[in-house]
Structure 1
Amino acid sequence: MRLRNKPWVPELIEAHQDLIIQAPQTDLAGHWAKRFANPALPIELEIGSGKGQFIIGMAQAHPEINYIAMELQSAAIGMILQKQIDLKLPNLQLFLGDGAAVTEFFAPGEISNLYLNFSDPWPKNRHAKRRLTYSTFLAQYHQILKAEGQLRFKTDNQGLFEYSLQSLNASGWLFDFISLDLHRSERQASNVETEYEQKFAAKGQVIYALDAHFEG
């Protein structure tokens, strides 16, 4: 969902460059660890962070991991930045950039785990190449992930979930976890929810989830 433009965002970003970086700056590939207070920690990436509830929750729950929130919409990343200015989480960095080009911004093996949460389903067949679990995207994820690094995916859209299972399988990924009803699974106790997830679950909608790693 596209948010309304927020004219105050550019000025906020300019004032807090220690917390956020904007594409097309590409010289951080292989050097993202230097952006964090503890560069020795593993780095996990969420593509499409929205208003940031998930990635902030993860950073708070797991201080032993560094997190990057990657978001294409400046209005959304600005809302995350507002929260991070108050929270000052040392293990969270924000990136205003396009998740369709992750190999331009991250070095091979730089990311430990990658999250896709409630991505746009692009339901029409002619738009399949835009789905973030299309084969060309999966190839990029494989490149930036460490060996055995996981892609962790959640959605409320059954069609996108079924498509993603097929796409991952065809691209050589192996499944470590699959749930057709995440909120009734054993993982729910540790599940950090997104804004969309809470909204959909409150309406009684099922949440689908999977973890997968590349084998090859």
Structure 2
Amino acid sequence: MRMRKKRNFDARMEACGKLLLAKGANGILNMKEAAESFRALIEYKAAFGEERADLPVALEIGCGKGGFVIALAQREPDCNYLALEKMSNVILTPMEEVKKQGLENIRFLNIRAECLPCYIPEGSLDCIYLNFSTPLPKLGYATQRLTHRNFLEVYKKLLKKGGRILQKTDDRDFFEFSLEEYKACGFTLEKVTYDLHEGGNPDWNIVTEYEQKWVDRGLPIHRVEAVLE
């Protein structure tokens, strides 16, 4: 079912304009086409301010309502965060919350993940977060999974040497698929767990709304850190 457009959507988006670094190229599905046909690389000094220009940069792909990235930005003020969400009607919610809180270390990308090479400078990311990405279980959709090697090769170009992909998922098959893809693309796997909450939630873990739902049902959460050597 299609989500109903929020009331006064255009005016509200415009009011958050400072926070939105990229909007467009959503119709481009081919990553090669995206990289070659449209390019507007982000300048971090312009995006976050001169005093924050040299701080680490992390990206969350699929930020949804923004609960995770906002909590992370509050906890780690000395890091800049980019939050990607392809659905315009969804991204408005976290942008308004960030504006309300006056957080200066979060900016948003209203684009598809395929278009990241158009906006993110190569070798500029310290970390990529993939929280409960859609598993797309049908075999025919494997290339659209955010941990498919097609995407991982893009992430490798965007990450710094030693950069990490931090993934959480409740889907065991998707997790196993992801582990194999990471290894195939030359990532080193660290801190692999099939039950993140065994013995209680770790102090460092920020629990997303989606994650809490599954934890309350007693279902395990899988997590891995894939390191680019």
TM-score w.r.t. length of structure 1: 0.92
Counterpart amino acid of 1:44?
Answer: A
Deviates more, 1:183-192 or 1:91-100: 183-192
1:206 and 1:144 map into 2 onto residues whose CA distance is: 31
Alpha-carbon offset, residue 22 of structure 1? 3.1
Alpha-carbon offset, residue 143 of structure 1? 0.4
8 A contact 2:22–2:119 mirrored in 1: no
In the other structure, the counterpart of 1:22 is: 22
Is 1:43 equivalent to 2:66 in the alignment?
A: no
1:189 and 1:49 map into 2 onto residues whose CA distance is: 21
Is 1:120 equivalent to 2:117 in the alignment?
A: no
2:128 and 2:204 map into 1 onto residues whose CA distance is: 17
In the other structure, the counterpart of 2:11 is: 11
Q: Determine helix, strand or coil for the equivalent of 1:146.
A: strand
Q: Determine helix, strand or coil for the equivalent of 2:59.
A: strand
Counterpart amino acid of 1:35?
Answer: A
Alpha-carbon offset, residue 201 of structure 1? 1.1
In the other structure, the counterpart of 2:196 is: 182
Deviates more, 1:127-136 or 1:7-16: 7-16
8 A contact 2:39–2:118 mirrored in 1: no
Counterpart amino acid of 1:199?
Answer: K
Structure 1 residues 78-105: Cα deviation after superposition (integer angstroms, max 9, x where no partner):
0101211211111111111111221111
8 A contact 2:21–2:47 mirrored in 1: no
1:175 and 1:186 map into 2 onto residues whose CA distance is: 23
- The CA RMSD measured in Å over matched residues stands at 2.0
Q: Determine helix, strand or coil for the equivalent of 2:197.
A: helix
1:31 and 1:198 map into 2 onto residues whose CA distance is: 36
Q: Determine helix, strand or coil for the equivalent of 1:58.
A: helix
Counterpart amino acid of 1:6?
Answer: K
Alpha-carbon offset, residue 23 of structure 1? 2.5
Q: CA 1:2–1:81 in structure 2 vs 1: closer, same or farther (change >3 Å)?
A: farther
In the other structure, the counterpart of 1:172 is: 186
Alpha-carbon offset, residue 186 of structure 1? 8.7
Is 1:161 equivalent to 2:175 in the alignment?
A: yes
Alpha-carbon offset, residue 128 of structure 1? 0.4
Is 1:143 equivalent to 2:154 in the alignment?
A: no
Identical amino acids, percent of aligned pairs: 33
Structure 1 residues 33-91: Cα deviation after superposition (integer angstroms, max 9, x where no partner):
42114222111000000000000000000001010111001121101012112111111
Between Structure 1 and Structure 2, how many residues are aligned? 215
In the other structure, the counterpart of 1:102 is: 116
Structure 1 residues 128-176: Cα deviation after superposition (integer angstroms, max 9, x where no partner):
0110000100000000001110011000111110100011111111112
Gaps of 5+ in 1: none
1:155 and 1:42 map into 2 onto residues whose CA distance is: 25
Alpha-carbon offset, residue 107 of structure 1? 1.0
Equivalent residue for 1:152, pick from 155, 159, 166: 166
Counterpart amino acid of 1:32?
Answer: Y
Q: Determine helix, strand or coil for the equivalent of 1:182.
A: coil
Gaps of 5+ in 2: 26-37
Q: In the TM superposition, what are the counterparts of 1:57-136 in structure 2 within 5 Å?
A: 57-136=71-150
1:73 and 1:210 map into 2 onto residues whose CA distance is: 26
